[in-house]
Structure 1
Amino acid sequence: MYCRILRVPRMNSSTLLFVKNTEQTQTKIQKENQRRRKLVKVMWVSVLALAAAILLLTVAKIPVAEGVTCSPMQLASRAAAMTSSSPPSEACCAKLREQQPCLCGYMRNPLLRQYVSSPNARKVSNSCKIASPNC
């Protein structure tokens, strides 16, 4: 077995100063990286908070039909106003407003379309001040 002896260079004051400066630079770089990571976290939290706020504002403006039972039979008693030129009663308008979220479904049904999209049905909607649905 042979042992090999390595020769270590002697460190003078300029070498030690270089090592010290290198350590300080590495410490500064590590601190800067930590600061950047914190900033990135803060930025992402801000972005997510803004997205959540926008989502809440958007959802708050979406009209939701609350407990409406879509039944064309509920409009059957209003058929006289829709098939003739007689003006609708206030009860008829109230029932029509209640069934307004269902009108698109009625328009898609071939059996009901002729009643819901007739000119008289449009007159009833206009006199009840109900906007025609865009389906």
Structure 2
Amino acid sequence: MDWQFTQPFTLALQPQAADIDGLNHTNNAVYVQWCERVAWAHSESLGLSLPDYQRLDRAMAIRRGEYDYLLPSLLGEELLLGTWLTGSDGKLAMERRFELKRAADGVTLMRGRWELICIEMSSGRPRRMPAEFLQVYEQVLVRPA
């Protein structure tokens, strides 16, 4: 499959009846939920889960989300959602990208981008990323061309 960046972390998805809106395609809000799901799955695969965030009192929170909805997906279609970490300032901020493809033909249906900021969970205030975040997340950064 031809992805925007190399070596995506992927999650297979299939729209269910509850995901379909009045236009007979997957509701855009579902795509946002899927992005959250694949982001957590990616983080957990790297060894950082919600209990780790709680232990460290730090989290990567979405400061800005952008989504380009290119084509609809339909009930029961097999889809593949890829994600990458594509930027880090080594202090507070990271960037995560997404690409949703139809499995049958590899056509891109949606692209997304998150600007993330490290926060202290107990206060909600921006704080430097702990060394554990940097060690885990920066090793998988993919730089945009």
> Same fold per TM (> 0.5)?
no
- TM-score, length-normalised on structure 2? 0.23
Higher helix share: 1
Higher relative contact order (CA 8 A, sep 6+): 2
Higher strand share: 2
